[in-house]
Structure 1
Amino acid sequence: MRTVELLCSPPLEQAVRAAWDRLAAAGLPSLARNTHPSNRPHLTLASVEAFPPGAAARLADLVDAALPLPVRLDRIEVLDGSAPLVWLLRPAPALTALHAAVWDVLADADGQHPWHAPGRWVPHLSLALRFRDHDRRLARAVAGVDRPTGEFVAARSYDGETRTVAPLGRRHL
């Protein structure tokens, strides 16, 4: 699996990590417990089994032209009732346009994962995996004390086979 992900500005990343910490301190599931080096707040734009030839360079050009992108976090929700706890974001037109352009580049990619495809994509930053819907109210009270703003300032790709990340574009964090 290969992804296209946007990375948060340092202040926005700190706000999301603080929410992870508050969830963990309350005894709730939290990504704060994931110690893998690639674990950090990010927005996934696309996920496919493999990039087509030349796609990485085209994707890098897209994100270089689009970043930085402003973002405002919105409400906290549990997706699908018993799955990830996420902080939804309000997608600005520039973000929606970048998302569509990324999918145009990946139109011929093998193994497109449809939950990130245009029309199905729910833009969010993950707070916890395998979250129970009945804990949502407590999670909102603990994690969602504010609605931070910030920017997406860099992009990366996660390689599921090697469990590593690589930068996409010239901006690195």
Structure 2
Amino acid sequence: MHTVELLLDPALESGVRLLWDRLREAGLPSLATHGHPTNRPHLTVATAPALDGLAPLALPLEATLGPVRFLGRAVVREVMPTNALRDLHGRVWESLTGAWPPPDEWLPHVSLALRVRPEQHDAVRQALREPAEERGHFVAARSYDTATRTVTSLP
């Protein structure tokens, strides 16, 4: 599978990494401990078997990081779904055969931690101290290939 991911500007990325560090320092699951060299804060727009026909990605695009929430066993920072961001997702989804998720199921977010147990939720809330809304931009795009575990910059 291949992803289509949007990368954050340096200030927003730094803010996400700060939250990763707070979780790690509290002894909680955190993407700060994920050692793969491709690991960095991002918004996954879609996944698909191939990227043939990918619609152009008009960047930069405004980004607003909102509240922290639990999404299954993940801890995420919500990304406010502006019309421009929803339009971009829709164009990507329509342009790729077998793309997921469809527009009505897409919950834009930036992951902070995976495999968080329910009994850790209170500690997560305490460690993250509900961060203030942050505004910035998505400034670049990339694709992660799950088979080769490599990333490629997208135009």
Same fold (TM over 0.5): yes
Counterpart for residue 34 of structure 1 = 34
**In the aligned structure 2, how far is the partner of 1:131 from the partner of 1:149?**
27
Match of 2:67 among 69, 72, 75: 75
Match of 1:136 among 114, 121, 132: 121
Measured on the aligned residues, the alpha-carbon RMSD in Å equals: 1.4
Match of 1:124 among 90, 93, 109: 109
Counterpart for residue 86 of structure 1 = 76
Q: Which runs of 5+ in 2 are unaligned?
A: none
Tell me the amino acid that sits aligned with residue 138 of structure 2.
F
Give the TM-score normalised by the residue count of structure 2. 0.92
**In the aligned structure 1, how far is the partner of 2:83 from the partner of 2:125?**
27
Q: How does 1:23-172 map to 2 (within 5 A)?
A: 23-52=23-52, 55=53, 58-59=54-55, 62-63=56-57, 66-80=58-72, 83-106=73-96, 108-109=97-98, 112-113=99-100, 116-143=101-128, 144-169=130-155
What is the CA distance between 1:20 and its match in structure 2?
0.1
**In the aligned structure 2, how far is the partner of 1:76 from the partner of 1:141?**
12
Greater strand fraction, Structure 1 or Structure 2 = 2
What is the CA distance between 1:42 and its match in structure 2?
0.4
Tell me the amino acid that sits aligned with residue 92 of structure 1.
T
**In the aligned structure 2, how far is the partner of 1:102 from the partner of 1:139?**
33
Counterpart for residue 21 of structure 1 = 21
Tell me the amino acid that sits aligned with residue 44 of structure 1.
T
**In the aligned structure 1, how far is the partner of 2:121 from the partner of 2:67?**
11
| Higher deviation after alignment, 128-137 or 17-26 | 128-137
**In the aligned structure 2, how far is the partner of 1:136 from the partner of 1:100?**
33
Give the TM-score normalised by the residue count of structure 1. 0.83
Q: Which runs of 5+ in 1 are unaligned?
A: none
State the number of aligned residues.
154
